[in-house]
């Protein structure tokens, strides 16, 4: 489970770097004095960026599916290790539910704070995609 989480972040970082380099190059093309001469390059970079975002989204979906699989499997195994409840309580924590630890109830976060890493990651991918689409018309 931890390994899969680290893999997700490594893939995320690689795609952020790739998209940042691509956007920087696109910015240079758009602001160039020879902008009119570089129209084909601009559109090519935008299309490449959109393709990167599609690949990134697919890669991210698959990565989170694996991550969820490992969490669910660990939760299943944990049922055989009573009284261990680390993964089970992790779900409650993630959902903003109160936790009972050593017989005491703890409210560690509020339900309205619930924004999953997966949702935030997808928003970031979407922002990059929107920037590429808007750059086509710049």
pLDDT per residue as tens digits for the range 38-53: 999 999 999 999 999 9
Give residue 132's pLDDT band: very low, low, confident or very high (50, 70, 90): very high
103: region left, alpha or beta (phi > 0 left; psi from -120 to 50 alpha):
left
- Rounded to 10 deg, the angle between the 2-31 and 117-136 helix axes is 20
pTM (predicted TM-score): 0.79
Domain positions in the chain: 2-82+118-136
> What's the pLDDT at 84?
84
Decide which of 130 and 87 is more confident. 130
The three-class DSSP label of residue 100 is strand
Report how far residue 12's alpha carbon sits from residue 123's, in angstroms, rounded to the nearest whole number. Answer: 13
Give the contacts of 124 (CB within 8 A, at least 6 positions apart): 16
Average pLDDT, the chain: 89
Give the contacts of 60 (CB within 8 A, at least 6 positions apart): 8, 11, 12, 118, 121, 122, 125
The three-class DSSP label of residue 96 is coil
**123: burial class by Cβ within 10 Å (0-12, 13-18, 19+)?**
exposed
């Amino acid at each position: 489970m931890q390994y899969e989480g680290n893999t997700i972040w490594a893939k995320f970082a690689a795609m952020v770097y790739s998209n940042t380099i691509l956007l920087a190059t696109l910015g240079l093309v758009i602001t160039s004095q020879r902008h009119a001469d570089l129209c084909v390059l601009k559109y090519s970079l935008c299309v490449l960026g959109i393709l990167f975002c599609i690949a990134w989204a697919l890669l991210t979906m698959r990565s989170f599916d694996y991550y969820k699989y490992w969490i669910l499997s660990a939760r299943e195994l944990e049922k055989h290790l009573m009284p261990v409840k680390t993964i089970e309580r992790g779900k409650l924590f993630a959902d903003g539910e109160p936790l009972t630890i050593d017989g005491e109830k703890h409210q560690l976060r509020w339900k309205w704070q619930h924004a999953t890493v997966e949702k935030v990651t997808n928003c970031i991918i979407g922002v990059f995609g929107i920037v590429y689409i808007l750059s086509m018309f710049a």
